[in-house]
């Protein structure tokens, strides 16, 4: 155990991991860890107050005594999509804002290759993907930028890959189709929504939901008219699509809204209880871009209801 800690402390120092962390934002990570390992927060506070230099050793000893890293892996793997995204945003947010995205991704890659973190390989991989997706969504990096990073690392002899780039390209190039034939519904099933709202929501096409080829097709999807494509969340934007769907659900008369919600959720493959519980979580996200988009979407509905 002692040699294990020594190896980790050496690795920690060599990568200067602590220098990449934002002390204030890291509190969010402590909150996550408290959910998984009750008593974690009290331990961290105690060690900091005592100015313990062996804080890493004692924290890992506590984790190993309370289920090990497998417990964190299981918690993440069993979480719903909204909870997973919240965890990813929290861990991503713990990095200092001025650090290069590339440094974060390479650091997470090194961590995931450590034997001691083998049970967290999936989680660390998703955090890395979240950094990449966030950098592209914010416009600070492009897919070509990241492909250049991959080539550079591979030229250096490193087995470095970013499979998430293929997913992003696939999402932006192919709209999810329902089937070979358009979904047909009777006119009695059509639920009307204000054009004023739908026109504004379509501005989030390719940002919150995967690109729908036309505004007309988008309106047919929402109103449950005959349509050929499905509504699907863009990477990392699931909770924002929850918000859009739930706010739309509140607009029709009570005798139509539940039928509309059940139908569109089935097509989106969303769980009704999850949407009901998580539709506000985007407003509390640790990701500033997600919070900004959530406020904008809410404002569309609030402005309309105020004027009505």
Give pTM, 2 decimals: 0.63
Please give the Cα distance from 64 to 79 (Å, whole number). 21
Render pLDDT for 62-114 as a digit per residue (tens, 0 to 9).
888 999 888 988 988 888 877 888 888 888 777 766 668 888 888 888 878 87
pLDDT band for position 215 (cuts 50, 70, 90): very high
Tokens, residue 288: 């500033």
Name the DSSP letter for residue 209: B
Bigger pLDDT: 228 vs 48: 228
Please give the Cα distance from 124 to 146 (Å, whole number). 18
Render pLDDT for 143-181 as a digit per residue (tens, 0 to 9).
889 999 999 989 888 888 888 888 777 766 555 565 444
* Contact predicate 165/144, CB 8 Å: no
SS3 132: helix
Mean pLDDT over each residue of the chain, to the nearest integer: 81
Tokens, residue 273: 């209880």
C-alpha 237: how far from chain center: 6
Place of tokens 């990095």: 95
Name the DSSP letter for residue 227: B
Tokens, residue 46: 């105690």
Report which of 106, 121, 140, 120 is spatially closest to residue 288, judged by C-alpha positions: 140
């Amino acid at each position: 155990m002692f040699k294990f800690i020594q190896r980790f402390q050496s690795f920690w120092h060599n990568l200067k991991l602590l220098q990449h962390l934002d002390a204030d934002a890291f509190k969010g990570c402590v909150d996550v860890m408290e959910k998984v390992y009750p008593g974690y927060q009290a331990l961290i506070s105690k060690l900091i107050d005592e100015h313990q230099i062996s804080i890493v050793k004692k924290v890992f000893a506590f984790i190993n005594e309370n289920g090990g890293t497998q417990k964190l892996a299981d918690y993440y793997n069993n979480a719903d999509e909204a909870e997973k995204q919240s965890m990813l945003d929290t861990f991503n947010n713990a990095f200092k804002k001025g650090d290069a995205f590339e440094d974060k991704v390479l650091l997470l890659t090194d961590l995931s290759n450590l034997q001691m973190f083998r049970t967290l390989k999936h989680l660390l991989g998703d955090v890395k993907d979240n950094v990449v997706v966030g950098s592209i969504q914010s416009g600070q990096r492009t897919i070509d930028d990241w492909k250049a990073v991959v080539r550079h690392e591979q030229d250096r002899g490193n087995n470095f890959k970013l499979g998430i780039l293929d997913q992003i390209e696939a999402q932006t190039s192919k709209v999810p189709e329902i089937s070979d034939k358009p979904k047909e519904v009777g006119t009695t099933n059509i639920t009307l929504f204000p054009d004023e709202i739908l026109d504004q929501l379509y501005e989030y096409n390719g940002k919150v939901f995967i690109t729908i080829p036309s505004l007309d097709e988008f309106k047919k999807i929402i109103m449950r008219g005959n349509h050929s494509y499905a509504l699907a969340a863009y990477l990392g934007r699931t909770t924002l699509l929850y918000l859009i769907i739930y706010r739309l659900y509140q607009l029709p008369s009570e005798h139509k809204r539940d039928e509309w919600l059940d139908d569109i959720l089935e097509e989106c493959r969303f769980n009704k209880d999850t949407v009901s519980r998580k539709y506000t979580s985007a407003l509390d996200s640790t990701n500033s871009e997600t919070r900004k988009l959530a406020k904008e979407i809410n404002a569309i509905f609030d402005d309309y209801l105020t004027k009505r």
